A and B are shown apart, each in its own frame.
Chain A
Amino acid sequence: MILVVTLLVGVMLISAIAASIFKDLMNAVIASCLVSLIAAILFYFLQAPDVAMAEAAIGAALVTAVFVIALRRTNRYEE
C-alpha cells in the first residue's frame, strides 16, 4: 500500500515538473491531466471518494478539454 502511494506520488511529482518544462504545450496539458488523475487516486486512498470523483471529472476531463480548446486557438509551442 505505502509502496503504491509512494510510486504514485513520485509519478505525480515527475509529471508536475514535466508540465512546467515541456515546450510543446499539448504535452504539458497532458502531464497536468496526469497530475489531476493521480491526485484523484490519492484522494480515494485517503478515504475521500467524493473529492476523488470531483477531481477526476473536473480536473482530469473538463479542465484538460478547456486547455486543449485554448491551445487550438493559440500557439501549440512555447517560444
Chain B
Amino acid sequence: MRRVISVILLLIVALGITLCLLHIPFGVPKTKVGEHYLQKGKQETGATNIVTSVVVNYRGFDTLGEVTVLFVSAIGLSAVLASRRKKTAKEVEPASLVLFSGCRFLFPLILFLGAYIIVHGHLTPGGGFQGGAVIASAFLLIYLGCRGRGVSETKTKVTESLGGLVFVIVGLTGLAVGGHYFLSNFLPKGTLFSLFSAGIIPIIYIAIGFKVGSELAGIIGKLIEESE
C-alpha cells in the first residue's frame, strides 16, 4: 500500500516538473546581462574565460559568500568532531606496496595539475574551486596510500584563513583604490591571453584555490582520522 502511494506521489511530482519545464524556453536568453558579459567581458575584465570573469569579477561578492559557506561548514565539521578527540597514536597498518608506490608517483602530478588549473583560471576552463578540489583529491590519495601521513590540522586552518584574508584584503583595496565598489579590478589588465593579465582575477583565484584545497583536504583528513 505504501509503495503504491509513493509511486503515485512520484508520478504527480514528475507530472508537475514536466508541466513546469514545458513552459521554459531553453537556449533563449531571457536577460540582457548575459549578452553583455559575452560581448564586453573580455575588454572589461581582461580574462578570456568568461565564466571566470563572471565568477570573480562581476559577481565576486557572491563568490566571497560561497567561500564563506564552505568555511563555515568546515568549521562546523571540526566543531562536531572535536568533542570526541583522544589522540591515541595507534599503529596503523601500512597500505600495500602497489598503492603506496602509486600514490607517491601520482601525488606530485595531481598537485601540479591542480596548480595549473588554478593559475590558468582566467585563460582556460577551471579556476580556484576546480583546482582546489583537484588538490584535495591529491591529499586524499596521500591519506589512503601513505597511512598515518598527511597535513596537520593547524596547517590547513592557517592556509584557509590566509586565503580568505587575501580575498577580503584585495577586495577592500579595490574599494579604496580602484573604483567605488568592493572587489573592483584596480590592477592593470595586461594583454589578453597572457598569464599575467586580468588584474586581480589570478590573485583572487590563487587565494580561493589555497582556501578550497586546504578546506576540503582538512575535511577529508578529519573524517579519515575519525574513522580509524
Please list the residues of chain A having a beta carbon within 8 angstroms of any beta carbon in chain B. 49-50, 52-54, 57-58, 61-62, 65-66, 69-70, 72-73
Number of residue pairs A-B, CB distance < 8 angstroms:
50
Q: Does B41 have its Cβ within 8 Å of any Cβ on chain A?
A: no
**New A-B pairs, 16, CB < 8 Å, besides A52-B125, A57-B137:** A49-B125, A49-B126, A50-B51, A53-B117, A53-B133, A53-B134, A54-B133, A57-B136, A58-B133, A61-B133, A62-B137, A65-B140, A65-B220, A66-B219, A72-B227, A73-B227
Q: A49–B224 Cα gap in the complex (Å)? A: 30
Q: A61–B202 Cα gap in the complex (Å)? A: 26
Q: Which residue of B lies closest to A74 (CB)?
A: B227
- Chain A residues whose C-beta falls within 8 Å of the C-beta of B226 in the assembled complex: 73
- Chain A residues whose C-beta falls within 8 Å of the C-beta of B130 in the assembled complex: 50, 53-54, 57
- Chain B residues whose C-beta falls within 8 Å of the C-beta of A58 in the assembled complex: 133, 216
- Chain A residues whose C-beta falls within 8 Å of the C-beta of B117 in the assembled complex: 53
Instruction: Kindly name the residue among A50, A53, A54, A65 whose own CB sees the greatest number of chain B CB atoms within 10 A.
Output: A50
